[in-house]
Structure formats: C-alpha cells, structure tokens
Structure 1
C-alpha cells in the first residue's frame, strides 16, 4: 500500500517529524506491506445508508460539538470537510481520492471518541480511497484505518505507553463498537499524559 506520508506529531514532546505512520517493530501488519489485499466481507454485513451522505454526517458531528469535546469535534469535522472537498471530482485512480463511505464512517467513529481534552488525530488519505486517523506519543501509537472499499475490513490498532499492542483487529461491522471502546481506553490515557506534559500540543495543529 502506498501510504501518504505527512506531519506526525509526538504529543508529549511537541516535536513534529516526517515519517512512516507505522514503523513500530511490534506492529506487523500485512495491509501496510501488500498492495490492495482484498478479502470478502461476511454475508451478514449490513450496509449503512448514511455512508452515501458524508456532508450530512459531518454537519451532524459539528452540531454535536457542545460542551465536553467540542474542540475535538470541530477539528476533525473541519479536516474531513477539507479532505472531502479536495477529493470531489477526482478520479478513483488519483491518490488524493477518498470514497465518501470512508469520510462518513470515520466521522461516526471519531464522534464516539470525543472527550475532555482529547488530543486531535492526524487524518490523511491512504491512497486507496480510504482514510487513516493516527495518534502518536513516543512508543504509543493509535491507528484507525477506514477503507473506501467496504469489502475490506476497517483496521483498528492501539498500543500502550510501552509500545505493547493492546488492540489489533479488522472490523466488518457498520459501527465497530468493540474496537472503538478499545481505542478509547488508550486514547484517553495518551491524552491525559499529553495534557500533563505538553499542554500546548494544540499549537501543532494550527
């Protein structure tokens, strides 16, 4: 897979560096090594009609930004809106193209992760019509990859502060509740550490 590289922030040190989004030796993932590895989804998979209306879902996410986590929602809604606008009208062969399904589902996942002082993710296309949201703090990495092709399972991975994998799973369900809850536990821990040791981390996203 040709993963687009970008600005990866270390929320604790406040440093920003260019680099691979998955470079931990503990994370061995064929998706990042093999181009277009497709698998059939279970017959029981349910199609979510909201996937065809990313703009509507982003607006709903923004309207949910009231009180705790409102800055988090505003940030990811704005980022997804920008990505969707860039993708509009592009050919599916263009590495910047993002399937509306990926935009909508990532918005649904991220709204479940909002909380007080939760750090923002780096969000970027995966060059195959999907999106990746990532958080990094030293050896701790949290990755959510939502595919544009629903025949491929969405990928959830998190490590603890020592770099040990706490969750690594493909999800073929519309909601992925178990994966989201597993991600949330580590994200809140990462956020607590970042806010304690580098309370100015938001400057990295300006």
Structure 2
C-alpha cells in the first residue's frame, strides 16, 4: 500500500507543484512513529487517534483529519470453543498477541482485559507475532488457544464465527492526518482523491472502507459545480 501511495503522489501535478520530492516511511516501530508524528516531521500520516492525542500533534503541528477507516470490534478468537471473558477461563491459556504496543485489537484491549480480571502475564503463555495474519496462522496450527484481533468475513473460511467473543466494540479506526499550516484546499482535495483511489484498488477489506472528511473541493475547470465529499 505504501508503494502504491508513493507512486500516486509522485505522479500528481498538485503534489509536484507544492513539494520537491515525496518519501514514504512504513513502520510498526513505536519510536519511529513518535519521531515522524510526535515531532511533526510527517506531512501526511496514517496513525491511530491515540497517538495523535498523546502528543497533542493536532494542535501543535496543525494536523487535520482528511480520511478515516471504520470503527471495529476486538474479539477473542478460538479454534474449537467460544472464549469466555472470565479469570477462570483465561488463566493459563496460550494467548496470541501482536508485538506492537499501539495496536488496540492485538495488544492494548486484550492486555486491558487481563488487567481488569487481575490476571498477571506470568500466568499466561503469551506468544507475540508481527501481524494479524500471523496471529491467525498461530491459531490455525494450534500453536495458541486463543488470539485477540478483529473479525473479517474471510475469517469464516478458516474459523467459526460461533467461536469468537467481543472484548470491546467501537474501537476507533486509524486516520489519515495532513499537516495544514495554511488553508491549502488544493492539497486536501488531491490527497483525498489519491487516498480514495488507493482504497478502491486495495485487496484489503478493511482498507477499502475509507471515509473522507467533508471538504468543499472544486471540480475541474469548465464546471460550475462544487464537490463535497461525504463521510
């Protein structure tokens, strides 16, 4: 996705006119995210809202939300039984999580559940991996008893929807933030156009569900209409 975004931005006339060059940095590393967003280095960033709030980046560096992905739920997913959100059930279970502390569904929410239930990590066999797909592979091979993740329609091909239990609903999706030091309408509209095209062409069910924040974007010349993207 990062590669396709880079190609689209570099071929955009408005971007070429306003920027000398474009670079894309894709990372799950917490320190790199802090460097790029927490210090206002990134002009455009796809990050979780809690990261922006932690560093007050919206007010400090004038980041504005231009697009966002849908809210989702976090589930405990098992292979052969419906998980229970109780201390008795979870105690001693082999749990698959993401080795990514800012991931809500794969790290923050399940660890919050363990804390609420008074379960120490020492009483759990936790296996950390680097992606949600890797979590699913752990579960499918029986390497763990349960995983914490989101649920997508395609998961029904490997697992049973009867064996998932919601931990938390309405987890806010990641957002695209654009640094706006001036009311640069052309830039906002071209970024939204690019992100919209990118979402249409992606193979990911989640990243296809992009919602654009409403802005009045002028149509090309020879048109008297004004286009307003609806979220």
What TM-score bracket applies, with the shorter chain setting the length? under 0.3
TM-score, structure 1 as length reference:
0.24
TM-score, structure 2 as length reference:
0.22
Structure with bigger strand share is 2
> Which structure has more RCO (C-alpha within 8 Å, separation ≥ 6)?
2
Bigger Rg, which one: 2
